[in-house]
Amino acid sequence: MILQDHIKEISSNNEIMMLYTLDEFQGNLSKVSVPFMKEIRKDNFTQIIKLSNISQKLLDVGEEVFFAKNKILVSAGDVPDGFYYLKDGLVKSCVYSTNGNEYICGLIDKGSIFLEANAIFSIPSDGYFKIMEPSHLLFFRKENFLNLLQTDFDVTLSILQSITCKFLASGYFFTELLVHDSEWRLCRLLLTFADNFGIEIENKIKLNIKISQQFISDMLGVNRGTAIKVINKLKEMNLIEQTNGYYFIKDLQRLKNHQAKITT
């Protein structure tokens, strides 16, 4: 959709900026059908970024790339010249403390874009983006998607959705750190894994992703001893079990009920 009649362009440092009035933005929004906008809800605000229905017009300008496990796409301080769409595989976003401890900010699942805000606004990355399993991606060069942002409202909304979800997810995660204890947050993490990677096997939910105790502690932002203590408690309560590196939720509703009863 061409929005040139609705866009005011100003020149600054030889770059084109677009300004929408609120009435213009709402008017354009009412003219398009964007089903993915309905999917933005509180359940999306987790440490696992998983979107759907990224604009096909955006995907059409992406370059196919493949990376093996452990490949670092971006390091802290890098200013990316584009961003990625994950077709399949898994990517983690992480930071490291001064003493070398890793903290996992989030996981990026297939169907999602990432590094878009850094690429658009030339913002250095504050962390590392690392391939967790062999992954196929699309890479969008800055000059290509900036042209689309100026001419296609669906593409603009698609990117806006992704940035919005990540912004709100970081806010919810920060609130959880302030309000809830490690046990509540571990329950939340397991339930999030169940939503994204869970498969039902013999009346149990298998989390179809291999996660270690260290991995859990890195995602929760707690030391390994604390993570082990809470994991063992949930095992003793017969809520979870671990087999061959995979966690199983033995009763999903009981785990939800237990989390709801935890007070802070």
Three-class secondary structure of residue 262 per DSSP: coil
CATH 3.30.460.40 fits 32-177, yes or no: no
Amino acid at residue number 103? Y
Query: Worst-scoring range by mean pLDDT, 12-26, 72-86, 148-162, 216-230?
Result: 12-26
What average pLDDT is seen over the chain?
Answer: 85
pLDDT of 93 reads 95
pLDDT greater than 50 at residue 6: no
pLDDT tens string 137-164 = 999 999 889 888 888 988 999 899 899 8
* DSSP-assigned letters across all residues of 53-102: ---HHHHTTPEEEEE-TT-EEE-TT---SEEEEEEEEEEEEEEE-TT--E
User: Half-sphere exposure of residue 131, counting CA atoms within 13 Å on the CB side?
Assistant: 20
* CATH class of the region 181-261: mainly alpha
Residue 44 or 71, more confident: 71
pLDDT in tens, 157-204: 989 989 988 888 888 888 888 899 999 999 999 999 999 999 999 899
Distance of CA 94 to CAs 132, 181, 190, Å? Answer: 12, 21, 19
Domain locations along the chain: 32-177, 181-261
Mean pLDDT over residues 241-252, rounded? Answer: 94
